[in-house]
Structure 1
Amino acid sequence: MRLVVDRVSRAFGGVYAVRDVSLTVEPGELRAVIGPNGAGKSTLFALIGGQLAANAGRIEVDGRPVRRLPAHRRARLGIGVVFQAARIFTGMTAAENVMVGAHATTRAGFLAGALRLPAHHRDEREIRSRALACLDRTGLADWADRPAEELPLGQQRALQLARALCARPRLLLLDEPASGLRAGERESLAALIGDLRAEGLTMLLVEHDVGFVMRLADQVTVLDLGRVIASGPPAAIRTDPAVIAAYLGTAPAGRPEGSHP
């Protein structure tokens, strides 16, 4: 899936969190978005995922405008979302949490489910099989039938990723997935993201950890104060003067001296 973000803006009370941001994620590419705190990364993520509405600009997937579509409609088009904060459904097992992710793509429909028709049961069996496979892939196979709220934080984050993968996304949005993870968990996550990229899944990774990004990304877009200040391959971003200035607090172009990521 190809994602195009063209001059997208979002203001809150007259203050722009994102202003005239443009980027393109080609099919099979992993594009990272980085920047200091308050740069607008999470706002941009929510504008693409549909959790926030843009004030201006264009957002397209495979040439189809989605800026005015709600989040659930974007999910049906193949956009999967993994949020920064772990979001789980309490009172449900880990497997049931993951199964929720696939229900937007079921074939049987509401009527079959309400009447408990055979098509509904077939869908449920298929979805559970997919959910168990996704739990296994994210290292959670042993948690399948445990209450989701019993999972430690790192495993709750992995559960979100398993849920997104269960929907078989064509574009996966990841908002700081490594935040709060221990070193071993970060390594496992990096390996899984690398595998997904190798399989051709298009991904947009919003991340604060620059080292994590530089290991994984094909292309990097850097935001500061809601605007794009640099874009290119990781090697070029590492040495870009504007990026260095923004992170070290020496930027002359509108960023207060001494501010840090």
Structure 2
Amino acid sequence: MRLAVGGVSRAFGGVYAVRDVSLTVAPGELRAIIGPNGAGKSTLFALIGGQLATHHGSVTLDGARVERLPAHRRARLGVGVVFQGARIFHGLTALENVMVGAHATTRAGFLSAALRLPAHHREERAIRERALTCLDRAGIADWAHRPAEELPLGQQRALQLARALCARPRLLLLDEPASGLRAAEREHLAGLITALRAEGLTILLVEHDVAFVMRLADRITVLDLGRVIADGSPAEIRENPRVIEAYLGPSFVRSPHGAS
């Protein structure tokens, strides 16, 4: 899926969180958004996902404008979202939480489910198998039948990613997915994101861990005070004087991670 953001702006109380931001993400590209706290990253993320409405500008998916569509309509078009905080449905197992993610792609309909027709049973079995596969890809298959609220934080975050994948997205929005994860969990996440990109999934990644971003991203957009200050490859961003001054700092450039 191709994403194009054209001059989007969003203000809160007269103060712009995002102002005149434009970017294009090609099908199968992994684009990262970085910047200091308060740069507008999460606001831009919500404007693309539909959790917030734009005040100005456009958001298009494969050429179709969607900035006026609510989040659930964008989900039906193939937008999957993994939020910064772990969002789970209490009282459901991990498997059931992931199965909920497929609601945007179901076809049997309410009547078929209410009457428990064969089409509903076939679809339910298919969704269950898909959810189990997604749990395995997220590295938490062993937790499938445990209550979701019993999972540790790292597994709850992985659960949210598995739920998004269960909807078979064509554009995946990730808001700080590595935050709070242990080293082994971060490595597994990096491997999964790399595999998803190799499969052709378009990914927009908002992340504070710059070294994590530099490993994965095809291109990086840098925000500061709600505006784009740089856009380019990881190598270009690493050496951009404006980015170094506003965000990275000279110590990152000299560090092994920055030089990698």
For Structure 1 versus Structure 2, the TM-score category normalised by the shorter chain is over 0.9
Residue of structure 2 equivalent to 1:96: 96
Residue of structure 2 equivalent to 1:209: 209
Task: Specify the code of the residue in structure 2 equivalent to 1:204.
Answer: L
Residue of structure 2 equivalent to 1:72: 72
Give the deviation of 1:85 after TM superposition.
Answer: 0.2
Task: Specify the code of the residue in structure 1 equivalent to 2:103.
Answer: H
Give the deviation of 1:248 after TM superposition.
Answer: 5.7
Task: Specify the code of the residue in structure 2 equivalent to 1:229.
Answer: I
Distance 1:113 1:228 in 2: 47
Task: Specify the code of the residue in structure 2 equivalent to 1:214.
Answer: M
Residue of structure 2 equivalent to 1:259: none
Q: How many residues align?
A: 250
Distance 1:139 1:249 in 2: 35
Give the deviation of 1:104 after TM superposition.
Answer: 1.1
User: How far does the alpha carbon of each residue in 1:65-87 deviate from its partner, in whole angstroms, 9 at most, with x for none?
Assistant: 00000000000000000000000
Task: Note the 1:147-226 alignment, pairs <5 A.
Answer: 147-226=147-226
**Structure 2 counterpart SS, 1:91:** coil
2:142 equivalent to 1:142? yes
**Structure 2 counterpart SS, 1:180:** coil
What percent of counterpart residues are identical?
A: 82
Give the deviation of 1:107 after TM superposition.
Answer: 1.1
Residue of structure 2 equivalent to 1:82: 82
Task: Specify the code of the residue in structure 2 equivalent to 1:16.
Answer: Y
Task: Specify the code of the residue in structure 1 equivalent to 2:64.
Answer: R
Distance 2:75 2:7 in 1: 23
Closer/same/farther in 2, CA of residues 28 and 248 from structure 1, 3 Å limit: closer
Give the deviation of 1:249 after TM superposition.
Answer: 7.6
User: How far does the alpha carbon of each residue in 1:31-67 deviate from its partner, in whole angstroms, 9 at most, with x for none?
Assistant: 0000000000000000000000010000000001000
Residue of structure 1 equivalent to 2:111: 111
Residue of structure 1 equivalent to 2:254: none
**RMSD between aligned alpha carbons?**
1.0
Residue of structure 1 equivalent to 2:247: 247
Distance 1:220 1:28 in 2: 15
User: How far does the alpha carbon of each residue in 1:97-129 deviate from its partner, in whole angstroms, 9 at most, with x for none?
Assistant: 000000110110122112221111111100000
Give the deviation of 1:88 after TM superposition.
Answer: 0.3
Distance 2:35 2:115 in 1: 50
Closer/same/farther in 2, CA of residues 168 and 248 from structure 1, 3 Å limit: closer
Distance 2:11 2:22 in 1: 16
Task: Specify the code of the residue in structure 2 equivalent to 1:123.
Answer: E
Distance 1:179 1:140 in 2: 17
Distance 2:103 2:58 in 1: 28
Residue of structure 1 equivalent to 2:18: 18
Task: Specify the code of the residue in structure 2 equivalent to 1:136.
Answer: D
Residue of structure 2 equivalent to 1:254: none
Give the deviation of 1:183 after TM superposition.
Answer: 1.0
2:17 equivalent to 1:35? no
Residue of structure 2 equivalent to 1:253: none
**TM-score (ref. length: structure 1):** 0.94
Unaligned runs of 5+ in 1: 251-261
User: How far does the alpha carbon of each residue in 1:173-229 deviate from its partner, in whole angstroms, 9 at most, with x for none?
Assistant: 000000011111111100110111111110000011110000000000000000000
2:213 equivalent to 1:228? no
